[in-house]
């Protein structure tokens, strides 16, 4: 659904643009009406709620999306080349307060929050003759879940931010005076919203809509983030464990047996998806960039990525890349892999799915050929290996209108967060490891025609608390790479400075981010334009 808000607060409901609305709507209505005209009964509230799911598309991995710009760029997953422009400055930590990409993320998040606030206020104002109270609370719960997602992104990125809970007639937060709240106050509001959502939403796999399990899983993620910088509230490990255990025990979710299936259209609402940001395409102008944002070298029509904007971090790509020996000049004689950032091996199916080593212009190969055909997989220049994950078709008509929903929280993430929470409480047992991390490693050994030996991808044997944390953080990168959580993970574990160190001094890399990183850059600056418009805003320290 597209929502166009004018000064008269007119709303254009073209339902289908919301993330795969096809999954829970049978019809495709098109109507121009004000909220007052729509919100007269339960069906209008349903229409309004479904439409507002479009607001979380600002988070999706797109060229101006939060999960890409904050969560993936400037981590240890990909590197940015010399020609990366504004994105390169984020990667290198050389940006200024006038960076347009940072400004766009800030404004897009607040515009979406304003529209979510509209839904909460207006549906809450409906009387008992218009809508049943339980149904009203369900729609409000869905909105509060979406608002929690958006504020979690804001507080993770900027820390002290304006906390706006009422609808404004202005599209631009800079057009009115508002003060900042502390990170703690923002987190408290996020928790309040999610606890409400948990109490009123159904315990099902929502096919793209917010559910009880989605609220519990996001609560677990929020509680865990609060254990790290800047709050360092280690008492939240127990709260996180409780919520994540509820998700696990619900029986609603499970792992998909074959890892590459997860990132296809057929499995975009599988039992492993706790919540996703949806898309529908091509040809409907409701798609995502997944499938063409990342991908092998070569033209999009042949199944390649749209542009040459980034390359895979070769220290993630693995020892099979041939790097690491003293005679290897690629890294000037060594690698930087830390215990919390271990590399893939080729005997890990996630390496085959997530790292493209071929060039689709140079081979008549399908994605499966690119993953498993030895001659194709070893075809490309090592410095030109690319991040992959969601695989473009060949031939392709996807462009930037691909049909793939983006996972926001997967059940695999829930398992890893649960392991982290238990370890934070110092009660992580071998049985817990076997039920979480080792389940994922077992799946990573499954190839189309064989199951790799345990010795090639060994199980986690529980050790010290620090050892376990390093293994869990490393496993998160292998399992969830390119899904937009790595920066939050590195910051939460206190490993961000080490993590961004890159020795990939090749033509495909614009430099080492660590050398330009200052401690205050663990947060982004409040955009200069917003500071000029609102005298109440206080810039983050160091900018």
Of 406, 389, 404, give the one whose Cα is nearest residue 305: 389
pLDDT at 83: 87
CB 75 within 8 A of CB 293: no
Q: Per 3-state DSSP, what percentage of the chain is helix, strand, and coil (rounded to 5)?
A: 45, 5, 45
CB 489 within 8 A of CB 473: yes
pLDDT at 269: 95
Query: Is the pLDDT reported for residue 329 higher than 60?
Result: no
pLDDT at 29: 39
Query: Is the pLDDT reported for residue 2 higher than 50?
Result: no
Query: Is the pLDDT reported for residue 407 higher than 60?
Result: yes
Q: For residues 228-253, give the mean pLDDT.
A: 98
CB 203 within 8 A of CB 213: yes
Q: How many helices (H) and strands (E) does the chain have?
A: 20, 8
Q: What is the pTM of this model?
A: 0.92
Query: Is the pLDDT reported for residue 7 higher than 90?
Result: no
Q: For the segment 133-172, what is each residue's pLDDT rounded down to a tens digit?
A: 999 999 999 999 999 999 999 999 999 999 999 998 776 6
HSE-up of residue 171 (Cα within 13 Å, Cβ side): 9
Greater confidence (13 vs 387) lies with: 387
Segment among 64-73, 443-452, 502-511, 525-534 with least mean pLDDT: 502-511
Query: Is the pLDDT reported for residue 400 higher than 80?
Result: yes
Greater confidence (307 vs 427) lies with: 427
pLDDT at 319: 64
Query: What are the Cα distances from residue 193, in Å, to 153, 199, 446, 543?
Result: 15, 10, 39, 31
* Residues contacting 129, CB < 8 A, separation 6+: none
Q: Distance between CA 55 and CA 58 in Å, rounded?
A: 6
> If you write DSSP's letter for every residue of 253-316 in order, what string do you get?
----SSGGGGGSGGGTTSTTEEEEE--B-SSSSB-BSTTTSS--BS-GGGT--SS---EE-HHH
Q: For the segment 493-535, what is each residue's pLDDT rounded down to a tens digit?
A: 999 999 998 777 778 889 889 989 999 999 999 999 999 999 9
Q: For the segment 459-482, what is each residue's pLDDT rounded down to a tens digit?
A: 999 999 999 999 999 999 999 999
pLDDT at 36: 82
Query: Is the pLDDT reported for residue 385 higher than 60?
Result: yes
């Amino acid at each position: 659904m597209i929502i166009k808000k004018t000064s008269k607060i007119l709303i254009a409901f073209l339902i289908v643009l919301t993330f795969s609305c096809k999954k829970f709507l049978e019809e495709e209505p098109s109507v121009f009406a004000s909220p007052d005209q729509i919100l007269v009964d339960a069906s209008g509230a349903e229409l309004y709620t479904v439409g507002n799911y479009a607001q979380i598309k600002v988070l999706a991995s797109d060229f101006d999306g939060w999960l890409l710009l904050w969560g993936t760029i400037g981590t240890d997953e990909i590197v940015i080349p010399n020609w990366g422009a504004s994105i390169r400055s984020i990667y290198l930590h050389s940006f200024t307060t006038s960076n347009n990409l940072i400004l766009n993320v800030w404004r897009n998040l607040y515009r979406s929050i304003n529209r979510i606030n509209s839904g909460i206020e207006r549906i809450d104002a409906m009387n008992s003759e218009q809508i049943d109270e339980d149904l009203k609370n369900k729609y409000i719960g869905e909105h509060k879940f979406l608002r929690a997602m958006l504020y979690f992104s804001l507080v993770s990125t900027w820390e002290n931010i304006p906390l706006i809970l009422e609808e404004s007639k202005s599209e631009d937060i800079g057009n009115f005076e508002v003060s900042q709240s502390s990170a703690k106050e923002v987190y408290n509001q996020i928790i309040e919203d999610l606890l409400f959502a948990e109490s009123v939403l159904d315990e099902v796999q929502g096919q793209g809509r917010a559910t009880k399990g989605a609220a519990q899983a996001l609560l677990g993620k929020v509680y865990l983030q609060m254990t790290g910088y800047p709050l360092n509230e280690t008492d939240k490990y127990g709260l996180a464990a409780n919520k994540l255990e509820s998700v696990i025990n619900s029986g609603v979710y499970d792992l998909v047996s074959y890892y590459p299936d997860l990132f296809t259209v057929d499995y975009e609402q599988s039992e492993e998806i706790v919540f996703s940001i949806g898309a529908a395409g091509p040809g409907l102008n409701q798609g995502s960039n997944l499938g063409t944002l990342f991908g092998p070298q070569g033209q999009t029509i042949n199944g390649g990525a749209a542009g040459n904007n980034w390359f895979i971090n070769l220290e993630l790509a693995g020892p099979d890349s041939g790097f690491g020996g003293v005679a290897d000049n690629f890294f000037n004689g060594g690698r930087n892999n830390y215990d919390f950032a271990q590399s893939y091996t080729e005997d890990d199916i996630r390496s085959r799915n997530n790292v493209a080593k071929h060039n689709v212009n140079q081979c008549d190969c399908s994605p499966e050929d690119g993953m498993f055909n030895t001659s194709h997989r070893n075809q490309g220049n090592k410095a030109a290996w690319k991040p992959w994950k969601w695989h473009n078709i060949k031939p392709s008509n996807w462009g930037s209108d691909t049909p793939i929903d983006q996972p926001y929280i997967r059940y695999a993430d829930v398992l890893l967060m649960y392991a982290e929470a238990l370890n934070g409480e110092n009660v992580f047992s071998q049985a817990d490891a076997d039920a979480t991390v080792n389940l994922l490693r077992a799946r990573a050994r499954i190839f189309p025609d064989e199951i790799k030996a345990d010795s090639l991808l060994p199980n986690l044997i529980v050790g010290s608390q620090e050892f376990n944390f390093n293994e869990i953080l490393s496993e998160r990168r292998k399992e969830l790479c390119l899904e937009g959580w790595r920066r939050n993970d590195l910051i939460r574990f206190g490993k961000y400075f080490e993590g961004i160190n890159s020795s990939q001094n090749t033509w495909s890399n614009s430099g080492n981010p660590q050398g330009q990183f200052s401690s205050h850059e663990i947060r982004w600056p409040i955009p200069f334009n917003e500071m000029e418009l609102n005298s109440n805003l206080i810039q983050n320290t160091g900018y």
